Amino acid sequence: MARNNLKNELDCGAEKHFEMRQDGVIYFQDSVWIPAVDELRTLIPDEAHKTRYSVHPGADKMYQELRSFYWWPGMKKDVATYVGKCLTCAKVKAEHQKSSGLLEQPEMPQWKENYKMEKLARLYVDEIVVWHGVPLSIISDLDSRFTSRFWQSLQQSLGKSVNLSTAYHLQTDGQSERTIQTLEDMLRTCILDFGGSWDKHLPLIEFSYNNSYHSSIGCDSFKALYDKRRKPLEFQVGDRVMLTVSPWKGVVCFGAKGKLSPRYVGPSEITQRIGPVAYRLRLPDELSGVHDVFHVSNLKRCLVDKSLIIPLEEIHVDEQLHFIEEPVKIMDREVKRLKRSRIPIVKVRWNSKRGPEFT
């Protein structure tokens, strides 16, 4: 069976990298070749992921560890699939993706305000540097705001230089001048069409400019800024998801080890989609006091096999979603003997949001 598997993998053109050594083991570039027999390709990731020496590493870290010793076709994909189906990782690993769900933009109020140079400098840091980083250099015209000592000192403090364009030589800053020319043409058109009320239509001019195709970037500005690798997270009825646990915000307060308790509980089945960004879940009886509709940012797709799912431990919450501290079990009894009396003492185990406590 192993030789047949090896023959199939040799057919892909990798035969020159295989070598059988004196110990009878087949190597692929100094890594042991693992045939697809006897579930070896499942047992090896299982050992590398769940032992006390590994403690559930991520897919990339686990693959880098295994590739030094073993190899088989599609190994990196198999490792990623295995880690994605681990129930323990699904419960405890933090999400490093941006919050899911499309934003619902509120209506922006209209206002007019004159900015001084200090205010413009603050806007430059808050709106440009924070979102796009510090520019290597800035090319600007000879406007007094860009030639002022304040602006020059600001750029020097950021470690950047300001390159001023030559007077009456528009080619120095041709890209900006071409953009300004386009905006000026749009403003002139707006004045002709709307007359004295042209300033009320400036938001539509901005929208039109951002929504139009630009040859320099090959698409419109909206698409370049918001549509790059952006796909909203969506689930279907019947999908199984993990529910985030937030003891500090009171969503679900539980756990045997306080803040080291699992980040997610579940999985739970989606029974209904409520609008574009909310879902109704079929929660276990232990969470009957929790509202069953959650925002998509609180959910994570569950890839764990159903056969590996362990029932949720008992969680007791009240109507305000606060953890209910109550006695669970009598652990020990004894009688304290005094000279003239006997005092019975009982050791009781309590459930609390900090974990098991004894009194």
- Write the DSSP string, 48-61: HHHSTTT-S--HHH
pLDDT at 112: 63
- Cβ(301)–Cβ(292) under 8 Å? no
Residue in the structure block whose two tokens are 């232990």? 286
What phi and psi values does residue 330 have, to the nearest 5 degrees? -85, 120
Distance CA 101, CA 295 (A): 8
Tell me the domains of the chain and their CATH numbers.
2-84 (1.10.340.70), 240-308 (2.30.30), 326-358 (no CATH)
Q: Tokens in use for 43?
A: 């047992």
Identify the DSSP state of 76: H
Helix axes 75-84, 40-50, angle to 10 degrees: 60
- Residue 109 CB neighbours (<10 A): 5
pLDDT at 317: 57
Q: Which residues make beta-bridge pairs with 342?
A: 337
pLDDT at 310: 47
Distance CA 253, CA 315 (A): 8
pTM score, two decimals? 0.40
Q: How far is CA 133 from CA 63, 129, 155, 305, in A?
A: 33, 4, 13, 43
Distance CA 268, CA 309 (A): 11
Q: How far is CA 233 from CA 77, 137, 219, in A?
A: 22, 38, 24
Distance CA 163, CA 137 (A): 7
Q: Tokens in use for 239?
A: 């999908």
Distance CA 57, CA 22 (A): 34
pLDDT at 255: 44
Distance CA 10, CA 15 (A): 5
pLDDT at 241: 86
Decide: helix, strand or coil at residue 25. Answer: coil
- In the chain, the largest separation of any two C-alpha atoms, in whole Å, equals 108
In what helix (H) or strand (E) does residue 266 lie, and over which residues does it extend? strand 264-274
Distance CA 344, CA 335 (A): 4
- Cβ(280)–Cβ(292) under 8 Å? yes
Q: Which residues make beta-bridge pairs with 243?
A: 265, 299
Each residue's pLDDT tens digit in the chain (359 positions)?
555 555 665 555 556 666 776 676 777 777 777 777 657 777 788 777 776 666 677 788 788 878 778 877 888 888 888 888 887 777 767 676 777 777 666 666 666 666 676 777 777 778 777 877 776 666 666 666 666 666 667 666 666 666 665 555 555 556 666 777 777 777 777 777 777 787 787 887 787 777 777 777 777 777 777 766 667 788 888 888 888 765 444 444 444 445 666 777 778 888 888 888 888 888 877 777 778 888 888 888 888 766 545 454 545 555 555 656 667 777 777 877 777 777 788 777 766 555 556 66
Distance CA 153, CA 205 (A): 34
